[in-house]
């Protein structure tokens, strides 16, 4: 088994795809850091100084003004209302939710990457794990070895898990190192508030508690990892089913992008909450943002994703072990 | 060589997987029930007071007038005022605008309870407020109830709120000058302008009388500014001032501020 996994790792690294992903993450993080830096500078210019409390209060007032505008859709209004009460809560407890620093940047980066960027990178790895063996014809060499088929697929799963972990590691490392150059490397112990419950119009703060930022970041990366695993497993299932890398890519891309679009407009279509792509923004629950459909919670999303994960694993093993190879 | 790289990559991946799994575990099972405030307020406050001698802190509160709705440039009289003050004074001007469009006097009272707003008011050198327009006009709906008895009941309620607002401001900050921007009559060109103008003037007089009970509190009249050619100074909604109209208000307030600084 170890040898099989080693073999898969060798193939992955030979394909240089992991390096490409690392370079991509590096460039993206640099871009985001620069953008953030520009934004802070502009804020300083506009507001005169950088007292976060003044800024946050200003943000609250700005949002309240937007709320008063009549042409905002109702569900967006709810999101804004939740946002205002959350910001007010932070302000009342004298905690800066966006204190500048590399750890805060890491947090913001993963919150933005979890629903699209991270799944895309996972997709790049997972989409041809199986299908490329077919298109290259190497599947026959692999399957004629005296190894059980499920073991081969299992080794591919492990290699995928390792790659996803590596991608997240690179995201964390690069965003820490690069943004730290500008924002400083401190701030791991800053308090963050979590445990908000956003239901409909109001923000329930009774269960709220503070945790240090480092723990907050670890939790968010953990959730991102889970999202990566689910997307990876689904892609692998498609890769087993379809055998064409381009088609796998196309289907997964379409569903991910559809998810990103749907999130903004499904508030009244309740059964959509069982789609995996609407449950990818797990960090929102930690953060306390209004969910796309009322009634969705962290536990709900995790269970939905888990069901998709289990089903795709069962199907991919069942199909891969029975499939005719020619 | 190749084997080494693979081993390194694999071990990093395994390590990272463990950390992520820990995070996932925490996300699901970790529960706390304490919330502690960050107690650095006093420290920060003293720091801010040190720099404040060189800067003029202006805090603006109120409704859409202070927000600047109707100004194409989006500045409103507060923004114009800032620009004019920067030209006139060598001091740094720092403005925070907490105005919310559509705010009534009772909503303003609620806003005055927020700790951050209170903190900033304590540090302010100049406080600008505009309130009352939404109490009186209710966004134009008042035109349907044009009678004096209805007006009197609204005004009575408003004056109680206004008194509350003023005393809150004074208890928070006794040294800042407060400028309350008065009402103008946006309906002066419409039917029954006599009645509406009478209402607005009475409102202004009563409100101005109220401000006299407090030190350094000035009720800035705007009624006359919009009395002639009202349509030249109104935005296309015929309710809010336009860029020119805001400029007029700003000029008036600026002249008062400079006068006040010289008087010191």
Confidence of residue B39 (pLDDT cuts 50, 70, 90): very low
> Where exactly are the structural domains of chain B?
52-263
User: How far is residue A27's CA from residue A15's CA, in Å, rounded to a whole number?
Assistant: 20
The DSSP secondary structure of A190-233, one letter per residue, reads: -EEEE--EEETTEEE-TT-EEEEHHHHHHHHHHHHHHHHHHHHH
Q: What is the CATH number of domain B52-263?
A: 3.40.50.1110
Helix axes B193-211 and B148-172, enclosed angle (nearest 10): 30
Range of the domain at A78: 2-322
B16·A6 Cβ contact <8 A: no
pLDDT of residue B260: 53
For the cut 60, the answer to whether the pLDDT of residue B33 exceeds it is no
CA angle B115, A91, A194 (to 5 degrees): 145
Nearest to A242 by CA among A132, A154, A159: A132
Contacts of B9 in chain A (CB under 8 A): 9, 13, 18, 162, 166
Confidence of residue A130 (pLDDT cuts 50, 70, 90): confident
Contacts of A208 in chain B (CB under 8 A): 35
User: How far is residue A224's CA from residue A217's CA, in Å, rounded to a whole number?
Assistant: 10
Cα dist from B99 to A61, A76, A295, B69, whole Å: 7, 22, 34, 11
Average pLDDT, integer, range B60-88: 86
Average pLDDT, integer, range B165-187: 89
Confidence of residue B263 (pLDDT cuts 50, 70, 90): very low
B97 in Cβ contact with A61 (< 8 Å): yes
Does B8 reach chain A within 8 Å, measured CB to CB? Answer: no
Confidence of residue A39 (pLDDT cuts 50, 70, 90): confident
What is the per-residue pLDDT across B79-97, written as a single tens digit (0 to 9) for each? 888 888 888 877 788 888 8
pLDDT of residue A303: 93
Length of chain A, in residues: 326
The mean predicted confidence, pLDDT, of chain A is: 85
Does A53 reach chain B within 8 Å, measured CB to CB? Answer: yes
Does A256 reach chain B within 8 Å, measured CB to CB? Answer: no
Name the B residues in 72-131 with CB < 8 Å from any A CB.
Answer: 92-94, 96-102, 114-117, 119-120
Closest Cβ–Cβ partner in B16, B24, B40 for A94: B40
Chain B residue with minimum CA distance to A172 = B16
For the cut 90, the answer to whether the pLDDT of residue A305 exceeds it is yes
Contacts of B2 in chain A (CB under 8 A): 10, 13
Site of tokens 């190894």: A147
Nearest to A125 by CA among B21, B20, B1, B9: B9
Q: How many domains does chain A have?
A: 1
Mutate to test the interface with A, among B15, B18, B20, B78 (most CBs of A within 10 A): B20
pLDDT of residue B139: 55
What is the per-residue pLDDT across A169-225, written as a single tens digit (0 to 9) for each? 999 999 999 998 888 888 888 888 777 776 666 777 777 777 888 888 999 999 999
B22 in Cβ contact with A222 (< 8 Å): yes
* Phi, psi of A96, rounded to the nearest 5 degrees: -90, 110
Does A297 reach chain B within 8 Å, measured CB to CB? Answer: no
3-class secondary structure for chain B?
A: CHHHHHHHHHHHHHHHHHHHHHHHHHHHHCCCCCCCCCCCHHHHHHHHHHHHHHEEEEEEEECHHHHCCCCCCCCHHHHHHHHHHHHHCCCEEEEEECCCCCCCHHHHHHHCCCHHHHHHHHHCCEEEEECCHHHHHHHHHHHHHCCHHHHHHHHHHHHHHHHHHHHHHHHHCCCCEEEEECCCCCCCCCCCHHHHHHHHHHHHHHHHHHHCCCCCEEEECCCHHHCCCHHHHECCCCCCECHHHHHHHHHHHHHHHHHHHHHC
Average pLDDT, integer, range B66-78: 85
pLDDT of residue A49: 61
For the cut 60, the answer to whether the pLDDT of residue B49 exceeds it is no
A262 in Cβ contact with A75 (< 8 Å): no
Does B21 reach chain A within 8 Å, measured CB to CB? Answer: yes
Confidence of residue B31 (pLDDT cuts 50, 70, 90): low
B27·A286 Cβ contact <8 A: yes
B9·A6 Cβ contact <8 A: no
């Amino acid at each position: 088994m170890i040898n099989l996994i080693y073999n898969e790792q060798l193939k992955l690294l030979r394909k240089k795809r992991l390096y490409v992903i690392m370079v991509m993450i590096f460039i993206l993080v640099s871009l985001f850091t620069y953008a953030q830096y520009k934004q802070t500078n502009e804020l300083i210019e506009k507001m005169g100084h950088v007292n976060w409390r003044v800024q946050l209060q200003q943000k609250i007032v700005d949002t309240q003004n937007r709320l008063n505008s009549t042409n905002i859709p109702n569900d967006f209004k709810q999101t804004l209302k939740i946002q205002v009460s959350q910001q007010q809560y932070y302000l009342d407890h004298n905690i800066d939710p966006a204190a500048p620093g590399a750890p805060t940047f890491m947090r913001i980066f993963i919150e933005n990457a979890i629903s699209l960027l991270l799944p895309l990178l996972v997709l790049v790895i997972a989409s041809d794990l199986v299908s490329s063996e077919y298109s290259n014809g190497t599947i026959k060499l692999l399957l004629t070895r005296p190894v059980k088929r499920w073991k081969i697929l299992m080794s591919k799963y492990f290699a995928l898990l390792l790659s996803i972990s590596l991608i997240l590691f690179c995201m964390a490392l690069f965003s820490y190192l690069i943004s730290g150059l500008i924002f400083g490397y401190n701030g791991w112990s800053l308090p963050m508030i979590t445990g908000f419950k956003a239901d409909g119009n109001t923000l329930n703060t009774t269960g709220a508690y503070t945790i240090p930022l480092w723990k907050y970041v670890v939790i968010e990366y953990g959730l991102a990892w889970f999202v990566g695993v689910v997307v990876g497993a689904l892609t692998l299932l498609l890769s087993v089913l379809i055998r064409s890398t381009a088609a796998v890519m196309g289907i997964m891309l379409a569903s991910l992008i559809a998810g990103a679009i749907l999130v903004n407009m499904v508030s009244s279509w309740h059964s959509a909450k069982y789609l995996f792509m609407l449950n990818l923004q797990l960090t929102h629950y930690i953060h306390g943002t209004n969910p796309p459909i009322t009634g969705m919670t962290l536990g709900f999303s995790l269970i939905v994703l888990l069901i998709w994960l289990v089903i795709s694993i069962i199907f991919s093993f069942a199909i891969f072990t029975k499939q005719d190879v020619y | 060589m190749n084997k080494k790289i693979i081993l390194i990559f694999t071990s990093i991946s395994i390590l990272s997987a463990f950390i992520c799994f820990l995070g996932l575990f925490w996300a699901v099972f970790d529960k706390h029930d304490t919330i502690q405030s960050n107690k650095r307020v006093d420290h920060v406050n003293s720091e801010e007071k040190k720099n404040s001698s060189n800067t003029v802190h202006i805090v603006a509160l109120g409704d859409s007038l202070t927000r600047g709705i109707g100004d194409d440039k989006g500045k409103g009289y507060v923004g114009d005022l800032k620009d004019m003050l920067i030209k006139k004074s060598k001091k740094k001007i720092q403005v925070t605008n907490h105005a919310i469009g559509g705010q009534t006097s009772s909503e303003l009272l609620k806003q005055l309870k927020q700790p951050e707003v209170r903190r900033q008011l304590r540090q302010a050198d100049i406080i600008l407020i505009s309130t009352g327009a939404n109490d009186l006009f209710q966004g134009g709906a008042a035109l349907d109830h044009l009678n004096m008895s209805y007006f009197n009941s609204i005004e009575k309620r408003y004056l109680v709120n206004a008194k509350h607002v003023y005393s809150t401001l004074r208890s928070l900050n006794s040294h800042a000058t407060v400028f309350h921007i008065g009402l103008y009559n946006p309906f002066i060109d419409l039917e029954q302008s006599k009645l509406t103008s009478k209402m607005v003037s009475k409102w202004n007089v009563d409100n101005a009388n109220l401000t006299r009970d407090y030190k350094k509190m000035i009720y800035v009249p705007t009624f006359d500014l919009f009395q002639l050619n009202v349509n030249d100074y109104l935005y296309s909604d015929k309710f809010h001032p336009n860029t020119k109209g805001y400029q007029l208000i700003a000029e008036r307030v600026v002249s008062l501020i400079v006068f006040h600084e010289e008087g010191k």
